[in-house]
Structure 1
């Protein structure tokens, strides 16, 4: 195996909690629309709106908020009140103000590997919100480079691991999303370490690679130093 020189880390739900904030807001959204439709149907309509809108608004709170508004208009047959729209907008603003809580083992892991590897934070989403979360987490000091991208593709990893390291062949990408963090990184030639989070957004679901000698699954991010020791 190639020598690993560069570690790429996903941010949301890999370094800090994120998806649960969306789930809590969706619960609040369901309460606001309870007089018009039942919760499961509303969730299906919201997901369909998110699937359509991610191509236009990108990932993150702003696109999610606009999708909630669109869904509210649809399921109420345009009868939704201005008060409910105002509540949805406020819920979006609250998400943007939500404290950033690092996950267990994260800071210890970053400190343990920093001396021996080039660390790159690779996150996708709204630039303003991702910058806020990176700073609020206090974890930015551990990284040699921070990249906020609109999408994570094979070309993304090939470009970033060449820009900030010795190329994807000598890089390990660590993240909770098989679809965004692992599969495209493997396709670019990198190693991939999947660290599952307890909830996954439906648009980030994908099948785990089978029989790939560069793919690993870890119970938690604290196992990263042990994996690196095995790969030396």
Structure 2
């Protein structure tokens, strides 16, 4: 049975890995971090321990590059038994700076789709991460003018979306969220009776992955490219 989008008035877009490349840079940074600490542990063990540290730090640091760098520094100290050199710590900080200075690489068809949809719908950006970094990326993207509202959330759970929709006076039944993460962009919206379209990205952070059991019975659509939105919402 098809999903009816005729009552949609507002479309929300995730940013990282929906509009532009992001997670790829984290994987590259993890590889560099593994090389820096290779005298202390195997790459696989370093990846595992870094992920555990990131998850443990989420309540304190939240999401984004800066939080990631702090977790890398903590992990370097622990894995080296607090023997890591100042030079290595500096190298870790430089990994973070390089990530923050990456050019914004838009995904295929993004600007064309936003331009097309903005003629009929009110568009908002709903992303999570570090406020300064997300503002910087949005400015570099050249996409700011397509959005009526921009919101950088501390997290993307049902309560966060409900508060956002209430604040903007948007009926959930008239709202469609588009994003790459089932955990953050799709399931919370379905659970509050809004609509959602999943656009998978080839790289997904382990924290954002969900089980088949979690998606079972949930009504949403999956498309391979943002370009398909023009046909679905014509």
TM-score under structure 2 normalisation? 0.94
State the Cα deviation string for residues 190-211 of structure 1 (Å, max 9, x = none).
1110000000001111136233
Alpha carbons of structure 1 residues 165 and 104: separation in structure 2 relative to 1, 3 Å: farther
Superposition deviation, residue 166 in structure 1: 3.0
**1:7-46 equivalent positions in 2, closer than 5 A:** 7-46=11-50
1:152 corresponds to: 156
Q: Identify the residue that residue 216 of structure 2 maps to in structure 1.
A: 210
Answer whether contact 1:10 1:122 (CA < 8 A) is retained: yes
The CA deviation at 1:165 is: 5.3
Output the CA distance in 2 between the equivalents of 1:100 and 1:165.
31
Aligned equivalents of 1:89 and 1:73: distance in 2?
13
1:97 aligns with 101
Deviation at 1:223, TM superposition (A): 0.8
Where do residues 22-171 of structure 1 align in structure 2 (5 Å cutoff)?
Answer: 22-164=26-168, 166-171=170-175
- Classify the secondary structure of the residue corresponding to 1:199: coil
Work out whether residues 187 and 218 of structure 2, in 8 Å CA contact, stay in contact via their aligned partners in 1.
no
Gaps (5+ residues) in structure 1? Answer: none
TM-score, structure 1 as length reference: 0.94
Give the whole-Å Cα distance in 1 for the aligned partners of 2:195 and 2:121.
14
**What SS class does the counterpart of residue 221 from structure 1 fall into?**
coil
Two-structure CA RMSD over aligned residues (Å): 1.3
Aligned counterparts of 2:211 and 2:146: Cα–Cα separation in 1? 31
Number of equivalent positions: 228
Q: Is the 8 A contact 1:194 1:217 kept in 2?
A: yes
